[in-house]
Structure 1
Amino acid sequence: RIEEYPGNYTKYLRLREERMERRLREYEAQQAHIAHTEEFIRRYKAGQRSREARGRQKLLNRLERVERPQDFPEMHFEFTPVVDSGQIVVSTQKLVAGYIDGKQRTELVRVADLELLRGDCVGLLGPNGSGKTTLLRTIIGELSPLSGQVHLGHNVRIGYYSQTHAGLNAERSIIDEIRQVSVLSEEGARTFLGRFLFSGDDVFKPIGTLSGGERSRVALAKLTLQGSNFLILDEPTNHLDLPSRQFLEEVLAEFEGTLLFVSHDRYFIDRLATKVWVIEDGVLIPYMGNYTEYRTRKQALVLDVPSSIKNDSKAEPAAVKSASTAVKSNARKNAKVKVRTLEDVEAEIEEAEERVKSVEEALAEAALNADAALLTQLTPDYEQSRTHVDELLTEWERLSLLSAHAKDETANEST
């Protein structure tokens, strides 16, 4: 059945839990009543109170039964480091990450000398193509630095999750893939995979035939077997349904090691990050706090900035001056050309936020119905809608800056 929940995703989670608890109490209370009545009927059906017992049996037969509330199937696992790392997990010195294609050298990100300490949870942010994945692969040693150095600390054991599931062999079955990195028997591997929602003959499916969500669960299953104390996760929530995302958040929040992750999911970042590393114009800049705290201080960061906007932002000082001159010129000449105003953008923001709310409600309904296909279909739409809101907010902030600049210049001219 379809159920409606008011509010956003965070409120939905709270209300859903409250409804489940209430329904479970109702179910358990009715079961206790049924058991008590059946015991009365069994005891007195042939005695002096047999008439009363028959009456209770009729009432019991007509009783509308409360169904046991069924929650979504959830994964059950944890990340357990087999050994603690040293206090310094990673340190860099004049690091430049990028790639070399033939004779062409492409620098993507420069990293200031920094240290990642045991217990840190760092969210790595930046526009698409800014070098986030390249930096992760440089840290784990898959790619060599273009210059500078990366040093891993004492007893550091890395567990890497690739957003493309590059570590999975498409030719192997799920169970064979798991047994390649463990000493589990076939029966033990089947039991283990049950914790990742693989049951029955599903464990014999080839990796190459799996959906994105199924491959993600296999990759997470392999990761739990490694006993890593330093998890590096590249878009770990991609392809996962909402209950699996929520469970992964909970597991990572309890992880006792060090975490470095890339994600476009602001709720995921806010829940986990104690620091954020942001790639801005090819330079990695560290900030304390989660995404919301960073955004509050920085005021504007779009997680997926189109290249045209990025190029515009680099020329912003000149644009501010020229745009403010244009604003005054248009005002003086009373030009008929339609200029995009703050009010226009605010109206679009309102529409875009309504769209986000609509998709959130659809996601909640799909989650309630355990409709994995619809969840997979809606998730990219949700991320695109959030990104569109971010882009509009960035445009609003830019127009605010231009407007304030124009007013200041007008005031200076009048004095």
Structure 2
Amino acid sequence: MILLQANQIARQFGADTLFENIHLEISSRARIGLVGRNGAGKSTLLKILAGIEAPDKGTIAKNKNITLGYLAQDTGLDSDKTVWEEMLEAFSDVRQTEKRMHELEVKISQISPEDENYEAVLKQYDQLQEEFIEKNGYGYENEMRAVLNGFQFDESFYDKAIQTLSGGQKTRLALAKMLLQSPDILILDEPTNHLDIETLSWLEGYLQNYRGALLIVSHDRYFLDKVVTEIYEISRSKMRHYKGNYSRYLDLKSQQLASEWKAYEKQQAEINKLEDFVAKNIVRASTTKRAQSRRKQLDKMERIERPQGKEKSAHFLFQITKASGNIVFQLEDGAIGYDQSIVSEPVNLDIKRQDAIALVGPNGIGKSTLLKSMIGEIPFIKGEKRYGTNVSIGYYDQGQAELNQNKTILQELWDEHPATPEVDIRRMLGSFLFSGDDVDKPISLLSGGEKARVALAKLAMDQKNFLVLDEPTNHLDIDNKEVLENALIDYEGTLFFVSHDRYFINRLATKVVELSENGSRLYLGDYDYYLEKKEEEEQLAEYEREQNETSQEKKTTTNKQNFVQSKEQQKQIRSLQRKVSQIEEELNTADEKISQLKEEMTLPENLDDHVKLTELDQSLQSTQKQQDDLMEQWEHLSLQLEELETKTS
């Protein structure tokens, strides 16, 4: 079912057209990625689709019964509530239903089943309960906890006032609340900004299972590959649609471009052939009619436009003036942090020439701190660092703090390389898409993407052999990320970089260093290899936990069995002891009876009484047999008792 449809949408700024003739459909359970260069109009289009802005042309048709949620990039919650109170707002409808149910429960308890309204109240309660269950009324608090935990907010944050949180935390909370509201169409503009890899992985899994439709703008290619199933691309004011994830889109786009070139070249060959015929035959009387026919054919032909291929991208290389020695940087048992407060130790690094090492770990664990300690901006709290011979360091700061906000673009580079001719500086800036009057723009007026390109241009000018990069792909669109990747792949020096861009890590890294509070850990491979090894480690740890639990369970079971067995044995012993005692009493009675019978048989009055004597003799024999049977039982039970007492002793 189509939830939203955009037809012939256009946005213009004066005489300039940002985009036009845009057609886009969002169906139930859609997973759409919107891609395009910075400035192509992606965010503007999202605002139009969300109803925040009106299009200059075209229409938006939306199903009236659906809900739509839109979250702009870097939007943070502005609230005077606590984290928990604000998240509860996402379930206001459910909580209202719950309140009404409680009211009806009280009412039901107060009226008699004979009351004429009783059945109506019960029916109303049943309807509310069905609605409550459908909206996850009995599990919404657990859902809140799961989402907050996914965004790295544990229970210690629940009672904190949102006003006291950092900007990044407020941004994550805004996204968390939007997910909990669960609109039928969820529109997200750069939701992966400022998320660490662990949170990104959680968000991917959550969105894959999201019950509504998704429309997402993102420069995170790994994220797009995991989440979306169709791509809309804005390029040169036009929109194109591709089925599949981001990698499939690249393949289809390449195939499409090749097909367009083939069709264009075929038509150009046909046009050249017809024009040549017309030129040679139009003035000859014998062939002029055929030439005129060919001319009409040319006039009626619908010309295929020359395929434009890729839009203009930066194109640059990172060169080095002198190679370093084989050993570039070493750190033994390092500790990093601020003001003697350690956030991670022990950190051990052994960086060799032409290594390309990615540093990964959760936000706040000290990745940027480690880079700044390596370049000497912040001292190591512990440990000894050593640089190899001829090592020259180039550093890229994710916040572009190295840029002078009071200078122009041209001054920023030329002041650091005053001996370089202006034409060479301009040529370098041109390769980073700064040409003409662009180079006279003040740094302070540049966008995040433009500042990133200036910082990279400075890095390229320096020609260092060891690049230490902190989030170099931040603010870059996908095309310029690919240019940066290709430049770094061809770089002959050494790389040590922090990045949350897993696609970028996969293309560059030959090793991955994971940073945690317990220090550093080295993995010899790219990001996918790192994930595989982490999964193996988790599986092994889980197996060991299961083994320990099984062992403990067996031990507990054995102890329990031993206890039960001991209790049973004690019970048997007591039972045998009672039986033995009883038999002993019966034996005593038999002994007394035998003695009495023998005594009676010797009495004079019984010796002369044959009948009486026979009766006494029979009774004696019977008692003696009983005595023998009792003795046999006593011996058997005594042996059992002795064995049990030996086992339990």
Relative to the length of structure 2, the TM-score reads 0.46
Deviation (angstroms), 1:397: 12
Deviation (angstroms), 1:200: 2.6
Identify if the C-alpha distance between structure 1 residues 8 and 158 changes in structure 2 by more than 3 Å, giving closer, same or farther: same
CA distance in 2: counterparts of 1:401 and 1:56, whole angstroms: 82
1:199-278, aligned counterparts within 5 Å? 199-278=435-514
Structure 1 counterpart of 2:453, one-letter code: R
Deviation (angstroms), 1:247: 1.5
Q: How many positions carry a matched residue from both structures? A: 318
CA distance in 1: counterparts of 2:550 and 2:346, whole angstroms: 39
2:392 is the counterpart of 1:153: no
Deviation (angstroms), 1:281: 2.0
2:367 is the counterpart of 1:132: yes
Identify if the C-alpha distance between structure 1 residues 240 and 43 changes in structure 2 by more than 3 Å, giving closer, same or farther: same
Aligned to 1:56: 294
- Please give the per-residue CA displacement for 1:348-401, whole angstroms capped at 9, x wherever unaligned: xxxxxxxxxxxxxxxxxxxxxxxxxxxxxxxxxxxxxxxxxxxxxx9x999999
Alpha carbons 2:345, 2:517 under 8 Å: kept: no
Aligned to 1:176: 411
Aligned to 1:163: 398
- Please give the per-residue CA displacement for 1:109-162, whole angstroms capped at 9, x wherever unaligned: 224443101111100001111110111011111122212221111111111111
Deviation (angstroms), 1:411: 8.0
Alpha carbons 2:348, 2:520 under 8 Å: kept: no
Selected match of 1:22 from 259, 262, 270: 259
Give me the CA root mean square deviation: 2.7
Structure 1 counterpart of 2:396, one-letter code: Y
- Please give the per-residue CA displacement for 1:219-246, whole angstroms capped at 9, x wherever unaligned: 1111111111111111011100011111
- Please give the per-residue CA displacement for 1:178-205, whole angstroms capped at 9, x wherever unaligned: 2123344334333322211122321111
- Please give the per-residue CA displacement for 1:268-326, whole angstroms capped at 9, x wherever unaligned: 1111111111112241111111111111111299xxxxxxxxxxxxxxxxxxxxxxxxx
Structure 1 counterpart of 2:260, one-letter code: R
Aligned to 1:142: 377
Alpha carbons 1:99, 1:106 under 8 Å: kept: yes
CA distance in 1: counterparts of 2:474 and 2:351, whole angstroms: 25
CA distance in 2: counterparts of 1:147 and 1:50, whole angstroms: 92
Aligned to 2:338: 99
**Rg larger in 1 or in 2?**
2
Local SS of the residue matching 1:91:
strand
Selected match of 1:2 from 239, 249, 264: 239
Q: Percent identity?
A: 41
Aligned to 2:517: 281
CA distance in 2: counterparts of 1:410 and 1:256, whole angstroms: 57
Structure 2 counterpart of 1:54, one-letter code: Q
Alpha carbons 2:343, 2:517 under 8 Å: kept: no
Selected match of 2:304 from 46, 56, 66: 66
CA distance in 2: counterparts of 1:230 and 1:4, whole angstroms: 42
Relative to the length of structure 1, the TM-score reads 0.70
Selected match of 2:317 from 78, 82, 87: 78
Local SS of the residue matching 1:4:
strand
CA distance in 1: counterparts of 2:282 and 2:540, whole angstroms: 78
Selected match of 1:44 from 259, 277, 281: 281
Selected match of 2:329 from 90, 105, 127: 90
Aligned to 1:371: none
Identify if the C-alpha distance between structure 1 residues 112 and 239 changes in structure 2 by more than 3 Å, giving closer, same or farther: closer
Aligned to 1:119: 354
Alpha carbons 1:109, 1:135 under 8 Å: kept: no
Unaligned residue ranges in structure 2 (runs of 5+)? 1-237, 559-649
More displaced 10-residue stretch of structure 1: 180-189 or 397-406: 397-406
Deviation (angstroms), 1:93: 2.4
Local SS of the residue matching 1:156:
coil
More displaced 10-residue stretch of structure 1: 124-133 or 396-405: 396-405
Identify if the C-alpha distance between structure 1 residues 406 and 92 changes in structure 2 by more than 3 Å, giving closer, same or farther: closer
Alpha carbons 2:330, 2:350 under 8 Å: kept: yes
CA distance in 2: counterparts of 1:66 and 1:180, whole angstroms: 49
CA distance in 2: counterparts of 1:407 and 1:226, whole angstroms: 60
CA distance in 2: counterparts of 1:399 and 1:148, whole angstroms: 33
CA distance in 2: counterparts of 1:186 and 1:167, whole angstroms: 21
Structure 1 counterpart of 2:320, one-letter code: P
Larger relative contact order (CA 8 Å, sep ≥ 6): 1
Deviation (angstroms), 1:412: 7.6
- Please give the per-residue CA displacement for 1:25-78, whole angstroms capped at 9, x wherever unaligned: 222232232223222222222123222222111111221111122222111101
Deviation (angstroms), 1:6: 2.5
CA distance in 1: counterparts of 2:523 and 2:345, whole angstroms: 16
Identify if the C-alpha distance between structure 1 residues 405 and 211 changes in structure 2 by more than 3 Å, giving closer, same or farther: farther
Alpha carbons 1:88, 1:153 under 8 Å: kept: yes
Alpha carbons 1:181, 1:225 under 8 Å: kept: no
Identify if the C-alpha distance between structure 1 residues 14 and 408 changes in structure 2 by more than 3 Å, giving closer, same or farther: farther
CA distance in 1: counterparts of 2:431 and 2:266, whole angstroms: 30
Aligned to 1:298: 534
CA distance in 2: counterparts of 1:67 and 1:403, whole angstroms: 65
